[in-house]
Each structure stands twice: as C-alpha cells, then as structure tokens.
Structure 1
Amino acid sequence: MTLEVITDPLLDGTTHGFFTRKGGASSGVFAGLNCGYGSSDQHDVVGINRARVAASLNVTTDRLMGVHQTHSSDVIVVESPADGGAEADALVTRTPGLALSILTADCQPVLLADPKSGVIGAAHAGWKGALFGVLEATVAAMETLGATRTQIKAVIGPSISQPNYEVGPEFRDRFLDANADHDRFFVAGQSGRFQFDLPAFGLVQLRASGINQMAWTRHCTYADPDRFYSYRRSVHQKEADYGRLISAICLKNGR
C-alpha cells in the first residue's frame, strides 16, 4: 500500500510530510505505518516502516534523524547521522540530506523552516513540552544556525483536537498558574471537567516566539482511527499498546 503523506504549502522548498498510519507493514493494534521502536511492535517491522519513510523523503535510513522524546523543552542541533538519539524533544539543522523526525500519537508534531537561510526544525509539543516552552526553544535554536524568526514558517500536524481532549481541573490549574490568560484554551465539559485546545495553544506559542506564518493541518488523531494512531483512544478502548506516527522534514538540495 502506498504511504499517505500530508504536506503543507507553507513548507514549500523542503521535503516534508506528516505521515498517516497507511502504507505500513505492522499488524494488530499497530496495523499500518508504526514508526516507534518504543512500542511493543516487532523491531524489524518498525524498521521496515521507517525505511519506507526514509525512501519517501529520498534519504537513507541512517539520515532519518530522531530523538528520545521526554516531554521536555530540550533541543539538539544535528550536523551528521551521529548526532541523533539524544534525549530531547526537538531537532534543528542546516545540513542538507538530514531528515528531522518526530513521533507522536496525539501530541503536536511541529515542522519549521526558514527557506532563506536553509534552516529547518522539528518539535514534539505535547501539552507539557508546549507549556515548558519547546516551541520557543526550537525557534531560538534555529536562530543560532542563522534563521530569522520573521522568516520561519511552521506547521502543526495531526494532533488531538479540543472536542476529544478532556482534562481535569488540576490540568487546567497548571496552565492558569503559568498564565491566567491560558484560560482561553479551555471550555467547560461535563462533571467539572474541561476540553483543552492543544493546537490553538501551539499556534499562540509559535506567534509569541515571533513566527508570522503558521498553520495547523486540522486533522484530529483521536477522531480518525483509520488514518492516525492515538494514545488516548487506545486507553479508552483498553488496547495493550498504540502505534506512533512519524513527521519529518529535510532540505531538498543534497542527499
């Protein structure tokens, strides 16, 4: 089956994609393109899936760069295949032929590019990382490589949407303790609970970081099981594990 890749014109000039679960070799609860070695899926099958993604991006598998994600605001600069695998939640580079990748299953995958300077970035921005400032940290790291904030373009890929993201009052309190204005990202739900708008929060964090051109693809991971993995949906359905979606970006020139 052919891979399904969501792209955005804001990132024209790069090879990029928010990959859905379609076109992979995994089976069972992982059926499709599970790219997470951290899952209990067969290691060699995940390797096959990742090789298909690398081929789609026109890079070799060793140049499909990733990090050990920890829901932090840590960012690494990658210059060669040897730089991958560190504990962080974002990567940036200006090296052609390196594909920066992020794994998600409800959290926000954010791809960024400054086409004029040739600097790109990829960030894993769940609620914790976004609140801790991973998007600002990614933009700052891109600046150190020569990017200009006003020239950076950013796209948030498939993420859990507000109607499907129910949280408790203690969750909301963490955001209000950081900034009372964060109340605008919550609407009242049932039984004293709230619905949190993660993509809207991400877009505002990007704007606060000086980004002028940004978008969300408007795909909800929870609501579309045929196309996307979802951690929260797997919990609600009492599944033993869940797959991980991959999103990646690389500079077009070079390999």
Structure 2
Amino acid sequence: MAKPVEVNRAEVLAGIPHGFLGRRGGVSTGVVAGLNVGLGSGDEEAAVAENRKRAAAAVLPGAPIVACYQIHSPDCVTVGEPWSDAERPQADALVTDRPGLLLGIVTADCTPVLFADREAGVIGAAHAGWKGAIGGVTDRTIEAMEALGARRSAISAAIGPTIAQASYEVDEGFRERFFSADSANERFFEAGKPDHWQFDLPAYVAARLAGAGIGQVATLGLDTYAVPDRFYSFRRATHRGEPAYGRQMSLIGLP
C-alpha cells in the first residue's frame, strides 16, 4: 500500500487549502527516495510527475500546480492562468486571486512562505533563500498581493520547513553581508567555531514579515537538515557527498 503524503499545515492559514510537504508519500527511489518534486534533480521524469500529482491531490484535488523557475531572486509574478513547466517564468514568488490554482514553491533548505488574505481572496507563495530574503522577496510578494486588493494587516503568513540555526553554519563574510545591510541583523547570528556563525534564516524571514506589517506570522519550526526521513536538504546531501538531492513543495490555493 502506498504511503500517504505527509502534509504539514499552519493554524494561521486554517480554512485556506495549503500544505508544506516533505519527502513522505512519493514514488522516487535512491538518494531522492520519496516525494521528490524537483524538475532539475536528475530524477526520473515520470516519478517527479507522479509526485507532483500526489502533492496537488493532497492539498487541492483537481487543481493544477503553477510554479516558477526559481533563481534566488526577489522577483514575484502575478498568476492569471496556469502555464506549462516549459513556460515557467524566472522568479521566486507568485500571487493570485484566481480560484482553482495551486501556487507551488520548491525548496531543499531555503524558506518557503505561504500567504493569504482571506477577506480579499488573495494568496501568495515565496521561496526565500538567504539571497531572496535579504533581497526582499517577501516584500515584493506583499506588494503584489496588495495590487490584487489585499491589505497587509489582513495577510497571514506561515514559514514552513527550512534549515534551522543549529544546522546552518556560515562564515564571517556571510554575516558581514547581513550586518552591513542592517546592524540589527546581528541578532540572527550566534557564534560557532572560530570565524563562523550559526544563522537563523527562518527568524530573519519572520522578522522581515513582521516589519512589513503583516497581520499574522507563524513559523512551523521544522528543520529540513535534521530530519532526513521527512525532508530533503541540499546541505545535508552535500555534507554526505550524495550525487543528487531531492526537493519538497509548499502549496497554497483558493477553492
């Protein structure tokens, strides 16, 4: 019997079809075994297609997944109708007010953020790696939602599975980049081994969201690196010397 897809949900998005998925419930095998949805992961196309089908069915059955070609940018696109995988625009966030679509973000340590303004009927999804986060991808997402009629104070945002501070070692140059942008960012770094720091990416993203005036912000507190049977992790795969790594998907839609 096939294992069910594991769907992690956020209370702040209750009533909105959404889910932060992991690797449980898929058909991929080998080092990417499970629910790998990465088109560029080197996995079999048929397996990835089946995994994406299962992912959609677990969140909003019958709805097509709309995703972008992620490039670690702050760019956000507004979705009016679905497109094919070959037509994916280069961006790292999506928003829509159209029912029956599933906005999808793919991650493997970076921070997935799902947004919803229930009153306005506007949703969003953002891929916030450190480059996109410091570049303002969440700010661009909020602005795009506002253009569709959302209000900041009415938007709820949830941060899904991402690499946690205990698992995210960075060097002094990395820390300096954030400190130069804003000296208050020092609070997201804890001293590690000599000339290295532990960076709290989800806390940084949450602070950006709160600073933007979002009504509700919640973090699931799930560390992709630390739980290999539940989540894919680029950094863990790299540390293990694995030849490939899988990707998980976060989805949100309007019924």
Query: Would you say same fold, with TM above 0.5?
Result: yes
State how 1:63-142 maps to structure 2 within 5 Å.
63-82=64-83, 85-142=88-145
Paired residue for 1:39, among 33, 37, 41?
Answer: 41
Structure 1 residue 233 corresponds to structure 2 residue 236? yes
Could you tell me how far apart the structure 1 residues matched to 2:153 and 2:219 are?
18
Residue deviations 1:146-200, cap 9 Å, x none?
0000000000000000011000000001101111111111010002200000010
Residue equivalent to 2:60: 58
State how 1:1-255 maps to structure 2 within 5 Å.
1-60=3-62, 63-82=64-83, 85-252=88-255
Could you tell me how far apart the structure 2 residues matched to 1:193 and 1:165 are?
10
- Give the unaligned 5+ runs of structure 1: none
Could you tell me how far apart the structure 2 residues matched to 1:171 and 1:149 are?
30
Identity %: 50
User: Number of matched residues?
Assistant: 251
**8 Å CA contact retained: 1:150, 1:210:** yes
Could you tell me how far apart the structure 1 residues matched to 2:183 and 2:24 are?
41
Could you tell me how far apart the structure 1 residues matched to 2:46 and 2:215 are?
41
Residue deviations 1:120-146, cap 9 Å, x none?
000000111000000011000000000
**8 Å CA contact retained: 2:7, 2:58:** no
Could you tell me how far apart the structure 1 residues matched to 2:60 and 2:185 are?
41
**8 Å CA contact retained: 2:60, 2:253:** no
TM-score by length of 2: 0.96
* Other structure's SS at 2:83 match: helix
**8 Å CA contact retained: 1:120, 1:250:** yes
